[in-house]
């Protein structure tokens, strides 16, 4: 029978004893529990240029993408076995079912976590991790360790009998072992490295079965960097451990023959973190904590303190007895921020290679960390540099990050309130994660490069777009990504839909996006000549649609009002484009009685803001809108529309407040209740200083002390007043 070494994945003690086991056995072949179709990765894995943690990822090449991960740390026993085999020039291979078998088993009826291969190897809960460490991680006698682990796995197997997939896996692994035996290798010189749970199954003859029928599912495979956070149990990875950085420390000191130094190193790192972040932590406190941890271990008759002993001692001696004082230090020291790296060209997908090549050429490698880093971009050409690549470095960075955003790769996040529509400044938060890497690999189904994949995604969005503004959104994305071909395709789609579109809001939204492209096309070095005639066409059509669109109900009026504001803004941005026609439309809207009064008032507000409404005309307009013959709801809506712009210009006009005061005084109680909420909503857009000025105007009008009136009017509502307003919110005035 082959020499089986049972282990727990990601156990440093297993790695230490495994090295001694292999040195003693001197096997002719090393077989490791892992996907058999990934054995060709082993040569790359043992490369000196690869830095753990890393993972093998297998995924389906059709959507929806299903994936399975096999992660490794520097202290993973499987990784140690591969390194030993490479150093001793011994053949090494994975012996488990191919990755396709796990993906084939991952169906809606049989859910499987996509971030790990479901394994019946020893998988501990957080509250059992301490027990595992106390029982196994500090055991230095290899024979006792192997005996204890085998007994532990035996009872675990009795408590949790293997399921059908586990039996299938063990039969397959037994078949691989038999294959090597039949090839003439002495069974006792075959080292089998597997989860301790499987050891008993592989030694049982009944585990052998007929030749495994390999799955027909087509999968792709790749190597990817991984992180200690992802390995930690806190991230949801069930087969990991809660303190990978701490376990790496156990592995390194154990390998050096100084396992007793791990406790002192852990406490020293806690102390260093506290000092670095402004907390006092003396050397004496570290010594006291170490002595206390050793005493706690001695009380349990254990040779070395466990992680829990060290944490308890640290809290008592260094954290004033409060876990919160050391919480961040615990996370940093136990989990760490380690991210693996792969040598150039080692990734098995072209899009990964393109991503890391872009990080190098765009000088973004230092942002490839677990902690978010701010990147400020200035998209304007740098005239003080010698090369074109340097002159437009930030612009190329921007296009790269926008392409990743379109692909859904969470590497860069554009900060809210910064450039989102083509301006010259952008602020990004950059942060690497294994999720970003997985999403990037899945994007390989869309293209072999970041640019081609983003182009494919935009093409699919364009096919699915049903409305004019949706096509325009794709066009703007293509513009930000620097994809001229996608921009041209989207422009063609917009032109086709614009012919039949008659919705004012849709047309104005599209015109706004086209305006962005026109104004910043040269900044992003994109050809926008074909956009200008389409923008003019849409702008003119919006003007024609304004009068009819303003004949709407209150529900639609808010959207039309935003469209009116956008048209006015676009006219100003484009050198007062079609200003005479636009002002004629505003004059018509402000004077008509058949448009929604809110929109009539808003049109008057824009005219006033543009300095095109004389005092006499404004006074006449207000007098007409607030006359006794006008229904209260119409008068209030007209006044609200007027109040939404030009606050200080309106505050300065005393006749406006006099007419409003006279109008309110003439209202009956039911009519006053009708307009109260409307007026309250209109004044809700005013700042505290503006409300103060309005109150002072009213005080002057009433010939009272202005400051006293302002204090009363701006005072907080009493509870009964607030209750009355709440009742009015739900009151149906239509019954009057």
**pLDDT tens readout for residues 224-250:** 888 888 888 655 445 667 899 999 999
Task: Report the C-alpha gap between 80 and 14 in whole angstroms.
Answer: 10
**Can you give the pLDDT at residue 618?**
81
Total number of domains in the chain: 3
- Residue among 450, 422, 451 nearest 524 (CA): 422
pLDDT in tens, 116-149: 444 445 555 546 788 889 999 999 999 999 999 9
- Distance separating alpha carbons of residues 518 and 535, to the nearest angstrom: 9
As a whole number, mean pLDDT of residues 371-380 equals: 89
The dihedral region occupied by 611, where left means phi > 0, alpha psi between -120 and 50, and beta the remainder, is: left
pLDDT value at residue 208: 46
Mean pLDDT of 154-182: 92
* CA separation for the pair 650, 640 (Å, rounded): 12
Verify that 155 and 263 share a domain, yes or no: no
pTM, entire model: 0.69
Q: What whole-number distance in Å separates Cα of residue 117 and Cα of residue 68?
A: 6
The per-residue pLDDT of the chain, averaged, comes to 84
Same domain? 144 vs 39: yes
Same domain, 15 and 42: yes
For the cut 60, the answer to whether the pLDDT of residue 640 exceeds it is yes
Q: 178-214, pLDDT tens digit by residue?
A: 999 999 999 999 999 999 999 999 987 654 444 566 6
CB 249 within 8 A of CB 266: yes
Report the share of the chain in percent with pLDDT over 70: 82
198 and 126, same structural domain?
Answer: yes
206 & 60 share domain: yes
What CATH number does the domain containing 302 carry? 1.10.8
Are residues 38 and 106 located together in one domain of the fold?
A: yes
Residue 232 domain flag = yes
Selection from 256, 478, 439, 226 nearest residue 351 by Cα: 439
Q: Which residue has the higher pLDDT, 295 or 100?
A: 295
> What average pLDDT does range 69-98 have in this prediction?
95
Count of H-run helices and E-run strands, the chain: 34, 10
Q: Does residue 735 lie in a domain region?
A: no
Residue 126 lies in a domain: yes
Contacts for 203 with CB less than 8 Å, ≥ 6 apart: 1, 4
Q: How many Å apart are CA 58 and CA 70, to the nearest integer? A: 9
- Tell whether 77 and 115 lie within a shared domain: yes
- Is 486 a member of any domain? no
Domain boundary, last residue among 219, 244, 269: 244
- Measured between alpha carbons, how far is 209 from 214 in angstroms, rounded to an integer? 14
- Residue 311 predicted with pLDDT over 90: yes
Q: Does residue 687 lie in a domain region?
A: no
If asked whether residues 79 and 19 sit together in one domain, one would say: yes
The answer on 366 and 323 residing in a single domain is no
Domain of residue 365, CATH code: 1.10.10
- Taking the C-alpha atoms of residue 484 and residue 492, their distance in angstroms, rounded to an integer, is 12
Starting at the edge strand that comes first in sequence, how are the strands of the sheet with 67-72 ordered? Answer: 67-72, 54-60, 219-225
Task: Among 410, 427, 445, identify where a domain stops.
Answer: 445
Q: Is the pLDDT of residue 682 over 70?
A: no
Question: Which range of residues forms the domain containing residue 61?
Answer: 3-244
> If we measure between CA atoms, which residue out of 561, 536, 532 comes closest to residue 546?
561
Asked if residue 267 has pLDDT above 50, the reply is yes
Same domain membership, residue 238 and residue 259? no
Domain boundary among 244, 267, 282: 244
State whether residue 1 is helix, strand or coil: coil
Residue 731 reports pLDDT greater than 50? no
- Identify the pLDDT of residue 688: 66
Supply angle C-alpha 384, 389, 391, rounded to 5.
30
Residues 276 and 192 in one domain: no
* Choice among 330-344, 420-434, 454-468 with the minimum mean pLDDT: 420-434
Confidence check: pLDDT of 715 > 60: no
Assess if residue 650 is contained within a domain. no
CB 342 within 8 A of CB 54: yes
Residue 534 forms part of a structural domain: no
Share of the chain above pLDDT 90, in %: 45
- Does 63 fall in a domain? yes
- The pLDDT assigned to 115 comes to 39
pLDDT confidence tier of residue 711, bands split at 50, 70 and 90: low
Domain match, 256 and 238 both: no
């Amino acid at each position: 029978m082959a020499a089986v070494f049972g282990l727990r994945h990601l156990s440093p003690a297993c790695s230490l004893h495994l090295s001694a086991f292999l040195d003693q056995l001197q096997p002719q072949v090393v077989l490791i529990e892992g996907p058999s179709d990934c054995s060709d990765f082993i040569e790359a894995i043992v490369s000196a240029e690869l830095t753990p943690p890393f993972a093998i990822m297998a995924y389906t090449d059709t959507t929806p993408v299903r994936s399975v991960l096999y992660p490794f740390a520097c202290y993973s026993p499987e990784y140690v076995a591969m390194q030993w085999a490479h150093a001793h020039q011994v053949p090494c291979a994975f012996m488990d079912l191919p990755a396709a078998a796990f993906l084939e088993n991952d169906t809606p009826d049989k859910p499987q976590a996509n971030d790990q291969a479901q394994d019946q190897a020893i998988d501990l809960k957080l509250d059992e991790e301490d027990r595992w460490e106390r029982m196994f991680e500090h055991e230095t006698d290899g024979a006792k360790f192997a005996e204890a682990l085998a007994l532990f796995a035996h009872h675990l197997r009795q408590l949790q009998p293997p399921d059908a997939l586990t039996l299938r896996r063990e039969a397959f692994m037994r078949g691989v072992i038999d294959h090597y035996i039949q090839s003439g290798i002495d069974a006792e010189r075959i080292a089998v490295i597997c989860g301790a749970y499987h050891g008993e199954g592989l030694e049982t003859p009944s585990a052998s079965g007929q030749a495994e029928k390999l799955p027909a599912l087509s999968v792709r495979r790749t190597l990817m960097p991984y992180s200690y956070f992802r390995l930690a149990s806190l991230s949801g990875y069930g087969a990991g451990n809660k303190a990978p950085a701490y376990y790496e420390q156990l592995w390194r000191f154990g390998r050096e023959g100084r396992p007793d130094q791990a406790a002192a190193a852990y406490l020293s790192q806690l102390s260093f973190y506290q000092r670095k972040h402004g907390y006092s932590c003396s050397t004496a406190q570290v010594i006291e904590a170490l002595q206390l941890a050793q005493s706690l271990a001695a009380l349990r008759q254990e040779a070395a303190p466990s992680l829990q002993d060290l944490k308890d001692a640290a809290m008592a001696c260094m954290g004033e007895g409060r876990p919160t004082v050391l919480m961040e230090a615990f996370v940093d020291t136990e989990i760490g921020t380690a991210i693996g790296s792969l040598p150039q060209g080692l990734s098995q997908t072209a899009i990964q290679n393109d991503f890391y090549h872009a990080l190098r050429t765009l000088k973004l490698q230092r942002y490839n960390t677990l902690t978010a880093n701010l990147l400020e971009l200035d998209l304007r050409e740098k005239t003080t540099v010698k090369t074109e690549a340097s002159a437009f470095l930030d612009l190329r960075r921007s296009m790269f990050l926008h392409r990743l955003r379109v692909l859904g790769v969470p590497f860069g996040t554009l900060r809210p309130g910064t450039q989102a529509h083509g301006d010259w400044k952008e602020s990004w938060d950059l942060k690497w994660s294994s999720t970003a890497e997985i999403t990037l690999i899945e994007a390989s189904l869309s293209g072999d490069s970041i640019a081609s994949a983003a182009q494919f995604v935009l093409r699919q969005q364009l096919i699915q777009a049903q409305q004019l503004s949706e096509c325009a959104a794709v066009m703007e994305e293509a513009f930000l990504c620097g994809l001229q071909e996608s921009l041209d395709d989207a422009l063609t789609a917009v032109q086709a839909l614009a012919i039949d579109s008659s919705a004012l809001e849709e047309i104005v939204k599209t015109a706004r996006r086209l305006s962005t492209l026109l104004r910043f096309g040269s900044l992003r070095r994109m050809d926008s000549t074909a956009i200008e005639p389409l923008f003019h066409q849409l702008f003119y059509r919006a003007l024609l649609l304004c009068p009819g669109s303003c004949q709407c109900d209150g529900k639609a009026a808010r959207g039309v009002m935003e469209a009116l504001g956008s048209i006015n803004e676009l006219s100003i941005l484009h050198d007062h484009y079609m200003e005479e026609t636009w002002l004629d439309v505003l004059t018509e809207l402000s004077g008509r009685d058949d448009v929604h009064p809110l929109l009539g008032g808003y049109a008057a507000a824009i005219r006033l803001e543009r300095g095109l409404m004389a005092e006499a005309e404004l006074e006449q307009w207000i007098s007409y809108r607030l006359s006794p013959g006008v229904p209260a709801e119409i008068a209030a809506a007209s006044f609200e529309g007027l109040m939404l712009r030009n606050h200080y210009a309106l505050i300065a006009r005393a006749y406006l407040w006099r007419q409003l005061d006279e109008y309110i005084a003439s209202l009956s109680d039911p009519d006053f209740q009708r307009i109260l909420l409307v007026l309250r909503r209109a004044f809700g857009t005013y700042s505290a200083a503006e409300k103060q000025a309005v109150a002072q105007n009213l005080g002057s009008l009433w010939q009272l002390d202005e400051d006293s009136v302002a204090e009363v009017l701006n005072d907080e509502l009493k509870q009964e007043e607030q209750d009355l307003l709440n009742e009015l919110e739900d009151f149906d005035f239509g019954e009057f």
